[in-house]
Amino acid sequence: MNTTSKLWTAKFTAIVIMAFLFFLCLQLLTAGFPAFITDLKNNPAQGGLMTTVFMVAAIATRFFVASLMQRMDYKKLSLISLGLIAISVGLSFGQDSVALLLLLRVFHGAGFGIITTIFSTMATNIIPAHRLGEGIGYYGMATSVGTSLGPMLALALLQVFSFNILIAISVGMTLLIMIINIFVKSPRKPVPAKRQKINFREHAFDKDAFTPAILTAFFSITLGGVVSFLRELGKEANLGATISLFFLVLTIVMVVIRPFSGRMYDKFGHKFIIYPAVVSGIIGLTLLAVTQTTLTLLISAVFYGLAYGTVAPTLQALAVSAVSKEKQGTANAMYFSSMDLGMALGSAGLGLLASYTSYHFIYGFSVVFLVGLLIAYTIIFVVKKKTRERFVETSEEIRI
């Protein structure tokens, strides 16, 4: 078998496992912190701020990640970052000072910004080019399953235990990731075709990855609301502990759809899957906005899971495929920064909006961002592309 076309190598499998564990322990706290602070201070805006400062720190750090990755070994940089995460999370144990917790979330966010970029770049560097959509689909499935199971596990544990149990579990899982990482050989860094010094701006930004990154932010604004405030929606709708079933259904749907969406991307391209996926997300958020029963909640999870399991990896594949091999770290950093930016805006903005309206209302309002995504996508990838094609055809006719 040709090894250049093999996807499930030992290294790729290990990276996928580490990504799953990392996002699982991450989302334990992403869902847990807002719930803990909201209960402690009775202020959803402060609860959302816990996610916001985390995401802002991650975004700020990612401007420097691609440059750091060129100067340091991937393994050494990832171990340092995981150590920073374990310490910052561990120091949160037993704390109830919002100011101190916010400071620790800044350090946690910085480590998160580095690790997510490194893991995704390690994955995309070893995925065969003709299986990029499929490979990112599987990698994204691991991160999405962790992202979905984390809030479900957090909300279930908070029904019985204190917030400190989430801290302890998160630290333990981070240490486990460090152990696995020690045994994973760093992939060889791509060498540019033309040896030239790349300045900081070129490491931090690539115009070809910019559009998919911005579209990612539109989607992740809605995800920020789903992850941060679903428990409060459950209280508002008197759904009790069954609200955590939303994340279970979401996870199942994403596990099923991710491999298919990746293969469809490789075979048919992004236009074939973006439109139905975003429409599915609109349906899911609309159902959340009116849900009063567990059945409606679970149906909304199916539709939103189809959207999340398809839109996120498609936009990441778009960003990565738009740049050269040596700039995949930059593309991944831009993609995740946009994801974080959307999460931060969604958590803070929708939390503030919920203070004046209701949790049902903010999910209905979130539909606006998915409609905006569709409009922007259509203008950039359909209308402008057709205009460029017509211009080229006209130019050729004139030359003839």
Tens digits of residue pLDDT in 152-204: 788 788 788 888 888 899 999 999 999 999 988 766 655 555 555 555 566 66
Distance, in Å, from the CA atom of 277 to the CA atom of 261, rounded to the nearest integer, reads 10
The reply to whether 219 falls in a domain is: yes
Residue 400 has pLDDT above 60, yes or no: no
Whole-angstrom CA distances from 224 to 128, 218, 293, 324, 384 are 32, 11, 22, 31, 30
**Domain boundaries, position 67:** 3-185+203-399
pLDDT band at 33 (very low <50, low <70, confident <90, very high): confident
Worst-scoring range by mean pLDDT, 46-55, 155-164, 177-186, 302-311? 46-55
Which DSSP symbol is given to 336? H
**Closest of 12, 263, 261, 223 to residue 121, by C-alpha:** 12
**Residue 193, domain member (yes or no):** no
State the pLDDT at residue 366. Answer: 94
- Contact indicator for 46, 37 with CB cutoff of 8 Å: yes
Confidence of residue 394 (pLDDT cuts 50, 70, 90): very low
Of the candidates 69, 340, 108, the one whose C-alpha atom is nearest the C-alpha of residue 224 is: 340
Neighbours of 110 (CB within 10 A): 22
Longest alpha-carbon distance in the chain:
76
In a domain, 19, yes or no: yes
The per-residue pLDDT for range 337-351, each reduced to its tens digit, is 888 788 878 887 888
pTM over 0.85: no
Write down the pLDDT at residue 48: 66
Model confidence band, residue 260 (pLDDT cutoffs 50, 70, 90): confident
Q: Judge whether 171 lies within some domain.
A: yes
Residue 191 placed within a domain: no
Residue 190 lies in a domain: no
Q: Is residue 240 left, alpha or beta, with left meaning phi > 0 and alpha meaning psi from -120 to 50?
A: left
Range of weakest confidence among 180-189, 209-218, 276-285? 180-189
For the chain, the 3-state helix, strand and coil shares in percent, each to the nearest 5, are 85, 0, 15
In a domain, 104, yes or no: yes
- Range 220-242 average pLDDT: 85
Beta-carbon count within 10 A of 296 CB = 15
CATH number for the domain that contains residue 307: 1.20.1250.20
Q: How confident is the model at residue 242 (pLDDT cuts 50, 70, 90)?
A: confident
- Predicted confidence (pLDDT) at residue 383 exceeds the cutoff of 80: no
Single-letter residue type at 14: A
Give me the mean pLDDT over the 225-240 stretch: 84
Q: Is the pLDDT of residue 221 over 90?
A: yes
Residue-level pLDDT at 364: 93
Domain count, the chain: 1
CB atoms within 10 A of CB 62: 26
pLDDT value of residue 144: 74
